[in-house]
Structure 1
């Protein structure tokens, strides 16, 4: 088991389902990323921090950094999702916006891969 497995094992229901979905997307789009626990959150690293996730009270937080949030800002507004400079709240009573998360993670992977060149 990894530290991310341990973190996920502490959660159940829709929080766990959302985090499992996010983990599957991130792992598929960033197969070379390493997994760790940073700031108490499951974290994927690829030439630095790629993305973090964490369970909130009524949401799962996705932390792609400021440029990541800005990349999908208009879609976040259209979907009525709460967000801040570097964080997105994905309510657990709504489906994970898979296409948005895929675009966002692909953007972050491209950013981080460019850093490694």
Structure 2
């Protein structure tokens, strides 16, 4: 077990990424709390998603930026070496060919910093919206 020296939370993995203290209340707050070199790509993804899903609500769910309308549509989150983009497993299958340049696993797309394809992110987001391919809020 690893214990964060700042907040005292315990984790299985050493240097586990997490939020110390109060969780962010907005996506902007989430992004601003990230390392400065990661913020531009995170804001770029946010802008792309806002353009693709203007009718979706921005919120924080599971401590991640989330786009929502009656259901969670998709999430994204900062990691050490990439941005995790979470449109769900069906989206990863649907866009398999276009996602060959990224590491993918089930419903996760790992986007390396500096390699954000806003067109593809928007295309996936609209597909999730149009097909209602998102999970129900529980």
TM-score range for the pair, normalised by the shorter chain length: 0.7 to 0.9
- 1:90 aligns with 111
Match of 2:39 among 16, 19, 25: 16
TM-superposed CA distance for 1:102, in Å, is 1.8
Q: Which has the larger radius of gyration?
A: 2
- Aligned 8 A contact 1:61 1:88 in 2: yes
Does the alignment pair 1:109 with 2:132?
no
TM-score by length of 2: 0.73
- Whether 2:79 is the aligned partner of 1:56: answer yes
* Matched residues, number: 110
Aligned to 2:60: 37
Runs of 4+ residues deviating >2 angstroms: none
> Where in structure 1 are there 5+ consecutive unaligned residues?
none
Q: TM-score, normalised by structure 1?
A: 0.85
Structure-2 residue corresponding to 1:99: 119
Shift of 1:14: 3.9
Greater relative contact order (CA < 8 Å, ≥ 6 in sequence):
1
Backbone CA RMSD of aligned residues = 1.8
